[in-house]
Amino acid sequence: MDVLDPVPAPALERLRAERLTVVTAQHPVLGELSLNRDFGQYEGFIAWPGADEDGLRLSVGAGTDEENTAAFEAAAALVANAAALDRAARERIVDDYLELKNNEWQDDDGRQYTRDEFMAALRAATLSLEDPDSEDWTLWFDDGDLFFGHGFTVDFTGDTPTDSCLVG
């Protein structure tokens, strides 16, 4: 078998170098965000009530510099109202799934959860804001093993939760 000598490919080398270059953005509220080119979004961690000690994963759709600035400001506005938004999301999940948990997905011991116990088990995991020109965004939660490792999403328009979904 003959082994060929490498053939220079400057265009591919430039593309490779560009893909390997780490792109970050700094924001006074959101902190450092890193561009995930595979998903076309900036990602980072932010402080959020009810999230793990590492914080809530933030995913913001990437675009032009102007679009990124608008997206970061939209995300910062959500962070400023985090306590109320987190509470609204948890209430929506409880309204939609507490009865299902207590009647269909009972623990082996048949335990019945109260609203407060159910809400306390949830862990905020990810805030996803894909389009800064839209008021729509999603908050993801780990289920605290209430539904055996599934999760929840709560879709918002502005400050209003519009839908919740059991996922996974």
What DSSP character marks residue 47? -
Q: Do residues 33 and 71 make contact, with C-beta atoms less than 8 angstroms apart?
A: no
Determine the pLDDT at residue 132: 73
Q: What is the pLDDT of residues 14-28, one digit of tens each?
A: 887 787 788 899 999
Q: What is the pLDDT of residues 81-127, one digit of tens each?
A: 999 999 999 999 999 999 999 999 887 778 899 999 999 999 999 99
Residue 82 Cα distances to 37, 72, 77, angstroms: 27, 15, 9
Q: What is the pLDDT of residues 122-153, one digit of tens each?
A: 999 999 998 877 899 999 999 999 998 899 99
What is the torsion angle, in degrees rounded to the nearest 10, for the CA atoms of residue 129, residue 39, residue 15 and residue 34? 50
